[in-house]
C-alpha cells in the first residue's frame, strides 16, 4: 500500500512538472493593450468615484484588460482556471472596451450587472477567498446598482 502511494505521488509530481510546459499561448495570463479612450472611465456618463472604485476593486481582474495576475497564475493547472475565468469574464463584459458597446448592449449589461451583484453571483464565490477586498458589502451593491440606474437614465436622456 505504501509503495502504491509513493508511485502515485511520483506520477502526480511528474505530471505537475510536465504540464508546466504547456505553451502559455494556450492559456494566456497576460493583458492585451488598452485604448484608454474606449474604457468605462472615459465613456460612461454617470460613473461616480465610489462606483468606479468598487468596480476596480471587485470586478476589473476578470472584466477588464487590466487584470492583476497573481504569482500563482504562472503555475499550471491553476493558471488554466484563471485564464479561462478571465477570458470568459472579458467576453461577457470588458470595462476596457465599454466605449465600443452599442446602446442596447450597454443597457443590457447595466441591468445584468445590478442583478448579478444583488443576487451575490458576482464576484464569483471562489474568487473572494483569495481576494477578500473584492467582496461586496450591501452598501457596495447599492452603489453599483445606483450607478447602473443613473447610467441607464443618462443614456436615455442623451438620445
3-state secondary structure 40-97: HHHHCCCCCHHHHHHHHHHCHHHHCCCCCCCHHHHCCCHHHHHHHHHHHHHHHCCHHH
Q: What pLDDT does 21 receive?
A: 73
* Model confidence band, residue 28 (pLDDT cutoffs 50, 70, 90): confident
Beta-carbon contacts of 150 under 8 Å, excluding residues fewer than 6 positions away, are 45, 46, 48
Beta-carbon contacts of 140 under 8 Å, excluding residues fewer than 6 positions away, are 54, 58, 117
For residue 121, being part of any structural domain is answered with yes
126-156 per-position pLDDT tens digit:
999 999 999 999 999 999 999 999 999 999 9
Q: What pLDDT does 152 receive?
A: 95
Max distance between CA atoms of the chain, in angstroms, equals 73
76-97 per-position pLDDT tens digit:
898 889 999 999 999 999 999 9
- Count structural domains, the chain: 1
Q: At what angle do helices 138-157 and 103-118 cross, to 10 degrees?
A: 160
Look up the domain containing 83 and give its range: 24-157
What is the pTM assigned to this prediction? 0.85
For residue 42, being part of any structural domain is answered with yes
Q: First-to-last CA distance in the chain?
A: 73
Amino acid at each position: 500500500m505504501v509503495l502504491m502511494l509513493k508511485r502515485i505521488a511520483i506520477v502526480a509530481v511528474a505530471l505537475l512538472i510536465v504540464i508546466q510546459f504547456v505553451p502559455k499561448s494556450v492559456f494566456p495570463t497576460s493583458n492585451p493593450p488598452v485604448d484608454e479612450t474606449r474604457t468605462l472611465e472615459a465613456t460612461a456618463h454617470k460613473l461616480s468615484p465610489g462606483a468606479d472604485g468598487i468596480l476596480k476593486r471587485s470586478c476589473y481582474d476578470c472584466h477588464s484588460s487590466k487584470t492583476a495576475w497573481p504569482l500563482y497564475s504562472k503555475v499550471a493547472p491553476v493558471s488554466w482556471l484563471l485564464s479561462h475565468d478571465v477570458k470568459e469574464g472579458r467576453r461577457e463584459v470588458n470595462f476596457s472596451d465599454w466605449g465600443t458597446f452599442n446602446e442596447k448592449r450597454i443597457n443590457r449589461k447595466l441591468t445584468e450587472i445590478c442583478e448579478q451583484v444583488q443576487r451575490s453571483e458576482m464576484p464569483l464565490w471562489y474568487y473572494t477567498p483569495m481576494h477578500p477586498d473584492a467582496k461586496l458589502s450591501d452598501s457596495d451593491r447599492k452603489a453599483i446598482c445606483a450607478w447602473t440606474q443613473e447610467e441607464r437614465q443618462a443614456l436615455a436622456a442623451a438620445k
